[in-house]
Structure 1
């Protein structure tokens, strides 16, 4: 009996420890009905927007701005909260592979022509546009400082970017890992026209390919989307290393192939899907 008690005394703490570390639900993953109920479908985007790939909120218009993916017209579309098309802005630009939008504190819109499925593009660009002067466009042209082969080997195919956000005079690019489908790299560019090498700031093993990004006005919260997933980083002290913030993953599979996310205000996100869904998500 004494031997049995000694064995139990040894194994019970071990079993408790294993349950604590392996058996408890992950702190960072949220799949509950309470969380997913925060996602509200606002509308279906109008027919000209067949493959929404980027989105931003325009507070002075109380409206959203979006665009289509590669192979479509180089147009920006402004829609209201019910998905009604308010304005089409036609730009004299190529749409090689437009993938995301960002907006700065002066209201300038940045169009990321950064889609790079095969990882061999050398003419990557982000276009800075004033919505009230759409003919006045600055081109921010760049390549990645760490890319040496065009294309690289399959496992190193991590030079496709479908996610950008702006903060404090800088543009931050988040890569879509087409090789291992695991690591999001973060790059930095100036927000004015010129030719640059995008500076690699760091990387984070998110475990999924990233399809869109947005930052709150103060930079304390950064949101990413992947297909059917929302990735929220809060209490961010430095947007350049946002992945060091408090992380929460939310399952939003009901939204479909989610492609873009932006902040409507500090507590509210707007999300679009490639099949034309327009959604709002509450962070509270």
Structure 2
């Protein structure tokens, strides 16, 4: 009886080992990159990295001292502040001149903290709650055509919500777990990221992007090691979470989330960048993309140890993404196989249309050509000893990168 079932058990065991070998860290820039992995399991670990922000302009008008949310739409930059002021401001990004001021007629600014948009609507988050006692949290929504209608104002409808996991509304200034300053919108859903003053772990909530009243529960969470103040999503799915720690020297940071399945943003790659100290760089409050890899960051006036004026800066993350942004429609690239041979490597890519490039770690392109019929040999030839990045791009624009060593 044992002999009869042994082959079956052996096959099951081998299948299990094979399946387990398929998942791991797929990003060559991670310290635990696994070249055998074809499915990203979200385990990538990254070295401590600083991201430089390029100065654009000081936000010199006192109106913008407490700027909080940024929106880049149709080549124009809009922002809002987080206290009482119910205007949306369109500014000149070269000198911070306010080009247009649009009042929101039928809403009050209790604590506007972030702004986002989809193909039809703009969403303004009246979600600030640093005392933890608010019972009137909402997202204001309006058709983005109102920004260019010439009416001179906007009218909003309201998405009201409460946190299903909040039962205590006792005021606790800067000591609540139910503050929020960041959200993004994907399809018909708003994704809110909590600003947890107690644990400094951000929780994600999902909220329908339709007017109504909702009770929302946390979906998942990320050990943010700080307070999340703004979020943005690129057109191709990269998520950035901006934030700072309220303990002096108040380090500022940016989380980059990519290569995640569906909208499970925390299940993919999670890379943190240092942005310096709020003492010198200001307290970062707003972020938006202007293209898939770069955009604007703003800070409000910081007046504690020193007086740091509000500023607009640029960020660029293009050097840090070598893997797919999401696991959706990757052009078949997860079927790629890279096999070592005595003379180099064989890239198996049957059925995949596209091209590949080979770049050394100094950024010099050593080889580039279209994929062959079923496999391509990557041999040492005249290459120097060392590490290289082999990037395959499918016909739909998706890419996957391997790190190889000769």
Provide the TM-score with structure 2 as the length reference: 0.58
For residue 246 of structure 1, what is the aligned residue in structure 2?
Answer: 269
| Aligned partner of 2:68 among 53, 59, 65 | 53
**Higher RCO by CA contacts (8 Å cutoff, separation 6 or greater):** 1
| Aligned partner of 1:67 among 50, 56, 80 | 80
Task: Extract unaligned runs of 5+ from structure 2.
Answer: 1-30, 33-44, 147-152, 245-251, 302-309, 319-406
Q: Mapping of 1:122-271 within 5 angstroms? A: 122-133=135-146, 134-151=153-170, 157-180=176-199, 182-219=200-237, 221-227=238-244, 228-239=252-263, 241-253=264-276, 255-271=281-297
**Is 1:80 matched with 2:106?**
no
Change (3 A) 1:57 1:135: closer
Change (3 A) 1:68 1:153: closer
Q: Is the 8 A contact 2:189 2:208 kept in 1?
A: yes
Of the two, which has the highest radius of gyration?
A: 2
Task: Extract unaligned runs of 5+ from structure 1.
Answer: 1-19
Change (3 A) 1:252 1:155: closer
Distance across 2 between alignment mates of 1:141 and 1:250: 33
Q: Is the 8 A contact 2:131 2:174 kept in 1?
A: no
Q: Is the 8 A contact 1:76 1:90 kept in 2?
A: yes
For residue 99 of structure 1, what is the aligned residue in structure 2?
Answer: 113
Query: Would you say how many aligned residue pairs link Structure 1 and Structure 2?
Result: 249
The structural deviation recorded for 1:129 is 2.0
Deviation string for 1:178-216 (max 9, x for gaps)?
122x21000011111111112321111111111111111
RMSD: 2.2
Distance across 1 between alignment mates of 2:227 and 2:288: 18
Distance across 2 between alignment mates of 1:129 and 1:116: 22
Provide the TM-score with structure 1 as the length reference: 0.81
Q: 4+ runs of 1 displaced by more than 4 Å? A: 152-156
Q: Is the 8 A contact 2:131 2:171 kept in 1?
A: no
For residue 324 of structure 2, what is the aligned residue in structure 1?
Answer: none
